[in-house]
Amino acid sequence: MSRASIFPENAGAQPIVEKLYEMNVRPTLREAALLHRMKFWRLRALYGPLGNCSKSKGVKNYLALVRKHRALAEKAGFRETDIYR
């Protein structure tokens, strides 16, 4: 007696990392979307809990974006030290 499974056989397979973090935005708008996200997380890092987001999460996400997209951040005037007053 064979049991049919609704789950695929390779349930333990991990997703490809490059596809996991790919932005779902047109290439022409990618820089604008990244700058918007940097501004969004910088405000949360500076002024604490806004909505359902803690200050520490804002700091972590802002620093990750600025470090990953350093050239774009410098061009727009964002620095890692902006969140420390």
SS3 readout for 20-39:
HCCCCCCHHHHHHHHHHHHH
Going by C-alpha positions, the residue among 78, 83, 22, 82 that lies closest to residue 57 is: 83
pLDDT in tens, 10-53: 656 655 554 556 678 888 899 999 999 999 999 999 987 878 88
Q: pTM to 2 decimals?
A: 0.71
pLDDT of residue 24: 82
pLDDT digits (tens, 9 = 90+) for 43-82: 999 987 878 888 899 999 999 999 999 999 999 999 999 8
Q: What is the DSSP letter of 4?
A: P
